[in-house]
Chains A and B, each alone.
Chain A
Amino acid sequence: NAGVMQNPRHLVRRRGQEARLRCSPMKGHSHVYWYRQLPEEGLKFMVYLQKENIIDESGMPKERFSAEFPKEGPSILRIQQVVRGDSAAYFCASQLGLQETQYFGPGTRLLVL
């Protein structure tokens, strides 16, 4: 059973460009979470999705950030008009059901020049 997959593993963008981060959950998992880890800081919750639904987006910045988890395909975290402060590691986690263990993907390291 493959683990959580994320791609790309590394992404370099210039200020003002768009960044698209993809996450494929473990087989059978329908709960997906996105977390962000700024340099030298702990992980911070961003958004919780189930198939075709955003359940909790309380950790998402109000502008430029969006997330989706379509019926088919991976979950996408989209950052429009990136700024240097968006440079961070973005981790996706998937979960089989409520109160089950969350398993993390290897992360996407975004660098904004």
Chain B
Amino acid sequence: RKEVEQDPGPFNVPEGATVAFNCTYSNSASQSFFWYRQDCRKEPKLLMSVYSSGNEDGRFTAQLNRASQYISLLIRDSKLSDSATYLCVVNSMTEKLTFGTGTRLTIIP
């Protein structure tokens, strides 16, 4: 079983729609959780950290369920510029980041 699992997609979504990504992790000792965004042939960039209480940043909402070891990302009112690969990332006490393989999102005009 992979340490971090994501649906690889691709998700093709019309502009303005809401899209949700899910992710599960296997290491119950994981401490920190993130969503990164990676554009084609670019480096990953931090989109947002994920907290147990849930957190929101504009059109983006992230949720963490420690009991189920499940992380989600919701994008509302999607825009063309949201097209990218979204990476679910987990950090254990060892500091090294463990990445999911990513979910590819394409927003269709």
Task: Please tell me which one of the listed residues B31, B44, B94 contacts residue A43 in the complex, with CB atoms under 8 A apart.
Answer: B44
| Contact yes or no, B96 A104, CB < 8 A | no
Interface assignment of B99: CB less than 8 Å from any CB of chain A: yes
Nearest CB of chain B from residue A58's CB, rounded to whole Å: 8
| Contact yes or no, B32 A45, CB < 8 A | no
A105 and B45 alpha carbons, distance in the complex (Å) = 9
Q: A41-B101, A42-B100 are in contact. Are A98 and B44 (CB under 8 A)?
A: no
A72 and B100 alpha carbons, distance in the complex (Å) = 34
Task: Please tell me which one of the listed residues B31, B46, B98, B102 contacts residue A101 in the complex, with CB atoms under 8 A apart.
Answer: B46
Most chain B CB atoms below 10 A, which of A55, A95, A103, A104: A104
Task: Please tell me which one of the listed residues B31, B32, B44 contacts residue A104 in the complex, with CB atoms under 8 A apart.
Answer: B44
Mask, B1-12, CB within 8 Å of A = 1, is 000100000000
Interface assignment of A25: CB less than 8 Å from any CB of chain B: no
Nearest CB of chain A from residue B108's CB, rounded to whole Å: 22
Interface assignment of B97: CB less than 8 Å from any CB of chain A: yes
Chain A residues, Cβ within 8 Å of B101 = 41-42
Query: Nearest B residue to A104 by beta-carbon distance?
Result: B43
User: Chain A contact residues (Cβ within 8 angstroms of B): what range?
Assistant: 20 to 34
Chain A residues, Cβ within 8 Å of B99 = 35, 42-44
Query: Nearest B residue to A103 by beta-carbon distance?
Result: B46
Interface assignment of B57: CB less than 8 Å from any CB of chain A: no
Which A residues form the contact surface with B (CB < 8 A)?
31, 33, 35, 41-45, 48, 55-56, 58-59, 89, 91, 93, 95, 98-99, 101-107, 109
Which B residues form the contact surface with A (CB < 8 A)?
4, 31-32, 41-46, 49, 87, 91, 94-102
Give me 16 A-to-B residue pairs in the complex whose CB atoms sit less than 8 angstroms apart, sorted by A's number. A33-B96, A35-B99, A42-B102, A43-B97, A43-B99, A48-B94, A48-B95, A56-B94, A56-B96, A59-B96, A89-B41, A99-B91, A102-B97, A106-B43, A107-B43, A109-B41
